[in-house]
Amino acid sequence: MADAVDVVDGLVSAADGLKSAGKPRTIIAVNPEKVIRARNHQALMDSLRAAALLIPDGIGIVWAARILGLGRMRRVPGSELMPALCERAAKRGYRVFLFGASPQTNARAAEALRERYSGLQIVGHQHGYLSQDDMDGLVRRINDCQADILFVALGSPKQEMWMARYLPTLSVKVCQGVGGTFDVVAGHARRAPRVFRTLNLEWLYRLLSQPSRILRQTALPKFVWQVFCEKLRHW
Ligand code: UDP
């Protein structure tokens, strides 16, 4: 987590040093479900490949990386990285914009972050249920308030598709797709209790508390299978 925060901080300050900021750099959380979806979703795969930083959001990714000899790492949940970046932004004076979630959640998340991190400059926020016609106006607003970091909370793959489409016209330096994080920050959704998190069973908690997610979690066995196949291919 500390490394991830430093990397993002480095991306923002590197962009600060450039006269003409290039295309914003992206941070995308990876979990087994996203990997499985990306195999049949070229645009999602492209956005993963183009990201400046992929964070191992789920324990499945940490496990797969180890099995495939890609390195040892610890989980960096997107829902923890986002507030950690806000804490760093408050210290460094970076300007933050929050886009996504319901109107109540979006407003409450902005309020909660301002209360939690004194001096945090949330220069704008916008709920995630805008019509397509309003998107150009939103891009202008984000650019006008000179945000450095944009958090996009539209769920996956919607947020990755939004980022791929609009980032070329945005002047932010860094953009993180944060899924349901505003709901957690606003206190409208709970993270798994500590015991589930310590045992790396957050996925099980989400499944038990929202059984409707069962369809999404069918990706897990597919992911395990694919990892073993990949391992055998390079045996
Ligand atoms: N959302 C949104 N606009 C949409 C669809 C979804 O702002 O058109 C928000 C939704 O209100 C929620 C978040 O996106 O706050 C999705 O949360 P979820 O936990 O489903 O994200 P994921 O599991 O995909 O990371």
For the stretch 178-223, pLDDT in tens is 999 999 999 988 888 989 988 888 888 888 888 877 777 788 899 9
Which pLDDT score is estimated for 21?
61
Centre of ligand 1 to C-alpha 162, Å, is 12
Per-residue pLDDT tens digits for 105-160: 999 999 999 999 999 999 999 999 999 999 999 999 999 999 999 999 999 999 99
Nearest CA to ligand 1 atom 15: 101
pLDDT above 90: percentage of residues in the chain: 80
DSSP type of residue 190: P
Residue 19 has pLDDT above 60, yes or no: no
Q: Does the beta carbon of 202 lie inside 6 Å of ligand 1?
A: no
pTM: 0.93
**In angstroms, rounded to a whole number, what is the distance separating the alpha carbons of residues 181 and 100?**
10
The ligand 1 atom at the shortest distance from the C-alpha of residue 156 is: 24
Site to substitute for ligand 1 among 28, 183, 185, 205, most atoms within 8 A of C-beta? 183
Per-residue pLDDT tens digits for 68-78: 999 889 999 99
CA distances for 190 relative to 15, 39, 87, 121, 182, angstroms: 35, 30, 20, 25, 11
CA-wise closest residue to 185 among 106, 75, 96: 106
The ligand 1 atom at the shortest distance from the C-alpha of residue 128 is: 7
Q: Does the beta carbon of 57 lie inside 6 Å of ligand 1?
A: no
Lookup: tokens for 175: 């953009």
Centre of ligand 1 to C-alpha 102, Å, is 9
- Helices and strands in the chain: count of H runs, count of E runs: 13, 6
Rounded to the nearest 5 percent, the helix, strand and coil shares of the chain are 60, 15, 30
